[in-house]
Structure 1
């Protein structure tokens, strides 16, 4: 049975079955001055979205432009698909050469290196060469055996081989590295969208980008925002449950969206830098709650890579709110920690 996972800041219990939702206290009526609106637009190979409640005379056009601008800025700085992005400038730089970078890129790199260190390399942004070699990047759309061997032999973890100088606004590689920020940049873009909401005085909003979501406050009636947790089923979309958010972010990493089949085996697009190969374990998906969507995004990837044994141990050690869906004997087994514990 699907479950409802709620932020403890909301009126609902921390975790309660979906069947019990009708027993919750009635929501306070929303002030009549608020109306609900939605905005969306293309970005980063997917779409950004915003659902929010504001005064009837609110300037929706200005908000839409502001949201699109910050998402496009993150894409222009951190995309591995844009040859002129700041990330690609760093990728092309020779080892030992300092590269001047925008503060936003340095902020994301710094958090990526922190999580790389804390996860023992389970999260590693230096998997760009592997991503390309296996056909998941901009360089190719099918696996290249020679490129795979080369990328695996040359792989070095980012948290050990990348230096940041935040004061001087620069970074340098101490070995040939190809960085890929796809496992954190979308979460960071969602955090920037939340900042735009605050700048425009919107205190009741749910912003998202490709499944990474952040709730800015609760709904105007005080109830949390309800979002579907997708079931990790290949070829069809269905809800596994519902997550309720208030002043909280959520991100999910899984094996069911992008993959290749080699020799009868299905390999997911997420790379395990420690094995220099795609993730190969029974974890179908990991969902993480965090204050910052950037953190939820990166930790969901780290726990997926860490696997069914190391992942929960890592989540416990870091005090994470995480939900693991494991493939066991042809069915999904749910295992939760923190707010997700049953």
Structure 2
């Protein structure tokens, strides 16, 4: 029978007089470092990000000089269960980009000549071409610079396992354990479930009219949608213009609410008609009507 392997127990106290206990940087990354990070869904990995409360904006630009403000965060630059680093930049860090018209990524990178064993680590700010994949950067991309404008892009991590991030596109590329929550810059909330990001209860959100359609100015029920878990409800009134044609897009439901297959609905009010919602999130009218009017729509479905 194989002998049991020895685990790691990282102590929270240190006896200076006895010069111990002894532990390596690897021990710290696999215990304390991981414990302080929001889990990414792996046994010893964590989400890279900056700590909630970091300055905003985190990166500013003056000409070609980019300044990253003092802050702290988490780095998990190497896959394969190597653990997490906490890092701090106690002073402003500056890096110069090549021009005011290019595209660049600004990253906090980790250099460890001992391959992660705690001998010679160096944390600093470095620029990369804007086309460089994040996976090829040994650290955390904190900002983008496009045509002389700097924008923060780093996930902002709080200790309640909530990540704050700018866009849904950035969120979809972020790996996390089930149960981790996220908040986008528009206030919408997501939760990781079943290996994917799911939009939580959004409250009632106005849809986006299109093709000349609009909301009746005096109506108290403008068309809106709400998502709770995967269940989506659409209800309210929309005004259609004269001479509209069948299959024109009336409106678009908010991101994350589209169905996996076509949903049919019946419109009632001054005129009646059939409408359908496609997986691209666009509500379209089936029949053509010559005059102006409005319709009350109501439907429920499961989001894709």
Q: TM-score normalised by the shorter chain: which range applies?
A: under 0.3
Question: Normalising to structure 2: TM-score of the pair?
Answer: 0.26
TM-score, normalised on structure 1?
A: 0.24
Point out the structure with max Rg over C-alpha: 2
Question: Which has more helix, going by share of residues?
Answer: 1
**Larger RCO, structures 1/2 (Cα 8 Å, 6+ apart):** 1
